[in-house]
Structure 1
């Protein structure tokens, strides 16, 4: 287990190419923006379908 941890640390330290901070921040903003847009789209579609279903059940009651 100790050997595995040492090798993993060595791999991360010496062989992994890390994304520059400025690029990581830019990509994080893009992902957050698309996540918000997707959430708003899902909310909008859910609202429309909810109103359609409520209207349908009102028609059935009558």
Structure 2
């Protein structure tokens, strides 16, 4: 019985109280996330490449 009441209350809250974004707001948010993800991925790639080159220099001095 408690589970049924819980599910009904969750449904009411999702339908009546939650403000869902419009389609254009959702698209804009998705674009922002894609751009931010790309910038972060590129930054990580550049740092990884830099550390690799640094380690290559250090290892070449040891051999």
TM (norm. structure 1) is 0.92
Q: Which residue of 1 aligns with 2:58?
A: 56
Q: Which residue of 1 aligns with 2:47?
A: 45
Q: Which runs of 5+ in 2 are unaligned?
A: none
TM (norm. structure 2) is 0.91
Q: Which residue of 2 aligns with 1:19?
A: 21
State the shift of 1:54 in Å. Answer: 1.1
Q: Which runs of 5+ in 1 are unaligned?
A: none
Segments of 4+ in structure 1 off by > 4 A? Answer: none
Picking from 28, 31, 47, the partner of 1:29 is 31
Aligned-partner Cα distance in 2 for 1:23–1:15? 18
What is the root-mean-square deviation in Å for CA atoms of aligned residues? 0.7
Aligned length: 61
State the shift of 1:2 in Å. Answer: 1.1
